[in-house]
């Protein structure tokens, strides 16, 4: 078992990965969203990064501390990174091959 205070950071990391993966696909499907983010933050990738940091901070703030299995949560984070990456790459492959 790992230190209970680390739990919220594992959760926030996994949520942030899914958020940035989802917002990446969403901004490609909804050009107005991409333009809005770019307009507010000067560039859409800069905006996605800032929004991801905000999501990370909010999740850390609201997630309670609890005892957890660090190996299991490290695997959840790794799985999130791999699945989110496959989601984004798969979307772009399908999007550009079908075009």
Determine the pLDDT at residue 5: 83
Determine the pLDDT at residue 1: 56
Distance between CA atoms of 44 and 12, rounded to whole angstroms? 22
pTM of structure: 0.91
Q: Token match 């984004």: residue?
A: 88
Pick from 65, 80, 78: nearest CA to 7: 65
Consecutive 10-residue runs of the chain (99 residues): their mean pLDDT?
84 97 96 96 96 98 93 96 97 88
Pick from 43, 65, 50: nearest CA to 16: 50
**Six-digit token pair at 97?**
């091959």
Show the DSSP H helices in the chain as ranges: 7-29, 31-41, 44-62, 70-98
């Amino acid at each position: 078992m790992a230190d209970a205070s680390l739990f919220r950071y594992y959760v926030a990391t996994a949520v942030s990965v899914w958020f940035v993966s989802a917002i990446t696909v969403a901004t490609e499907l909804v050009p107005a969203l991409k333009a809005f983010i770019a307009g507010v933050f000067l560039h859409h990738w800069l905006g996605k990064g800032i929004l991801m940091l905000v999501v990370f901070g909010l999740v850390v703030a609201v997630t309670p501390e609890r005892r957890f299995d660090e190996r299991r949560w490290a695997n959840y984070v790794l799985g999130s990174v791999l699945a989110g990456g496959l989601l984004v790459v798969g979307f772009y492959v399908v999007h550009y091959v079908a075009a």
